[in-house]
Amino acid sequence: MCNVVKEKRIQQVVEQISSFFLCPASPLPLGFFRIAIGLIALFLLVQLWPYLLPLYGNYGFIQWAILETGTNTWFPSIGKLYLLLEPLGFSPENCVFLIFSVYGVSLLGFILGIKTRVCAILVWFCHLSTVNSGFTSIYGLDTMLQICFFYAMWMPLGKSLTVFHFLGKRSTEPSAMANLSLRVLQLHLCLIYLNTAVAKMQGLQWWNGEAIWRALMQPQFSTFTYDWLASWPLITKGMGWSVLLIEFGYPFLIWPLKTRRIWLPAIIALHGGIALFMGLPLFSMTMIAMNISAFGWLRNSGFLGRYLPLHYFPRSLIFSNFSRRSNASS
Amino acid sequence: MVWVFLALMHLVLVNLFIWTNFENKETSGIYEYLRIYRDFSGCFRDYSYFAPNVANDTRAGFITKTEQETLHFLSFRAENEVVNTRYNNVISSGMRNPEVRELFSRSWATAIFGRDEKIQEVTVFAEAYLVPSIAEYRAGERPFWKVIYVGSFEKNKGEGFSKPQ
């Protein structure tokens, strides 16, 4: 008797896990994710293009001889590509432009949804190589883009909002893989915010408001004058506490719909603030795109209304979909 | 379910990479393969941005001297703000650790030598922006740039290499 109850319990847990991860979901948020991330990366590439050689060239500010010594053998880089292509007459400069050209063309294909998987693999490889060859210049934006491109290789990003869909191809049905992809993205975002919140909580500066003060007073980040904040220390303290609350609360309060209505706009506002007041718009846009893709589409079901809404532990939905499928196949 | 298992394994590994100080783990055996996976999946850094504390801003510049003793100042900046963010990262990575400052500034100087063959000497300097606390600011202290590194490099015609002074 006890074993039967145990088995039932295990079965229930497995069912819950599988419905959480495998309940068919619309691939539309993933289409949005593909276009948003692709456009950000393409914009970044256009901005960096005139400075490719100082940033990534063999005789740029950090020469390859320095960069290559500290890198993993398996990590692709422009320097390693040059070693392969040198016998064919390629110069180091040619290799820099070659890899960024392939990156740009692949990004175009990725955004348009033409051979999405192939383009995603090329984009991932090129971005990884450029990250390695410009390791000293990278920051959060590059880390996030690399995560996105890694996911892009196996997520069904080409199942909606491609150029073919705009030319009349019908969107594909909700799929288990689309839901699994969204779940992984959601869980990864929770990890990101938990990690950054815990790290911030270990510093006194975030509790007493000095972190906000210091960040806004840095010439690198400051877009306006903030010295007036010294007269209002409670403002910086409040802002510091708000950042801690939003980031630490994210992994727990982004899931229930009621709190998500507060937390999603709050996190978007946080990144909007970073873009506006600290001059890091591309990083902020990447984070906003990831958040909207992962958690935003149910909230915006008005304009995404044609697609099935995503529920949590949607047992009725999963079973109705399975029965619909089995009816169709029979 | 295989995909679910793989996805869960991936998330477990991401946790491992960001919470366990994986950077300082061994580089052999299973860790070597995990490191490859970490790099390929984009988890090569944790997400502790601006944490636990906000570091000082840094800037750098170059004073070049030609054979005719003409002096020029070049700022380590670009007109493009997106590029400037990257230049700032190059400067802060180079100046963060005093042990590698020499190596990085030599590399920057080499890039400057490569811009114009008339340049015979490059002086690299880097500064950190020291922001007083709110209380100190209210007491009258003000932020200022403090020189944290100065190094001069000469073009050595014979050996083709620069020398710090």
Minimum CA–CA partner of B19 in chain A: A195
Residues in chain B closer than 8 A to A74 (CB atoms)? 36, 39
Which segments of chain A does DSSP mark as H helices, in order?
2-22, 28-48, 52-56, 64-69, 78-85, 92-112, 116-133, 140-154, 163-166, 176-201, 204-208, 210-217, 233-253, 257-278, 281-291, 315-329
Q: pLDDT tens digits for A267-278? A: 999 999 988 888
The pTM assigned to this predicted structure is 0.87
Integer Cα distance of A40 and A111 in angstroms: 10
At residue A207 the predicted structure's pLDDT band, cuts being 50, 70 and 90, is very high
Residue type, A209: G
User: Could you tell me if A22 lies within 8 Å of chain B, comparing CB atoms?
Assistant: yes
Half-sphere exposure at residue B137, Cβ-oriented, CA atoms within 13 angstroms: 19
Chain A closest CA to B53's CA: distance in Å?
6
Q: pLDDT tens digits for A40-85? A: 999 999 999 999 999 999 888 988 888 776 555 678 889 889 989 9
Chain B closest CA to A244's CA: distance in Å?
11
Which two tokens mark B39?
């790099």
State the residue for tokens 């320097």: A79
Integer Cα distance of B103 and B116 in angstroms: 21
Of A210, A206, A225, A207, which Cα lies nearest the Cα of A277? A225
User: Could you tell me if A16 lies within 8 Å of chain B, comparing CB atoms?
Assistant: no
Residues within 8 A of B (CB atoms), A 72-91 only = 72, 74-75
Q: Cβ–Cβ of B51/A227 closer than 8 Å? A: no
ipTM given for this complex: 0.88
Where b means 16+ CB within 10 Å and e means fewer, A37-62 reads bbebbbebbebbeebbbbbbbbbbbb
Which segments of A218-302 does DSSP mark as H helices, in order?
233-253, 257-278, 281-291
Q: Cβ–Cβ of B44/A48 closer than 8 Å? A: no
Q: Which strands, in side-by-side order, build the sheet including B119-130?
A: B71-75, B57-66, B119-130, B144-154
pLDDT of residue A1: 56
Residues B95/B101, Cβ–Cβ less than 8 Å: yes
Higher-confidence position of B21 and A2: B21
Residue type, A178: A
Residues in chain B closer than 8 A to A62 (CB atoms)? 90, 104, 107
* Contact pairs from chain A to chain B, CB under 8 Å: 178
pLDDT of residue B57: 87
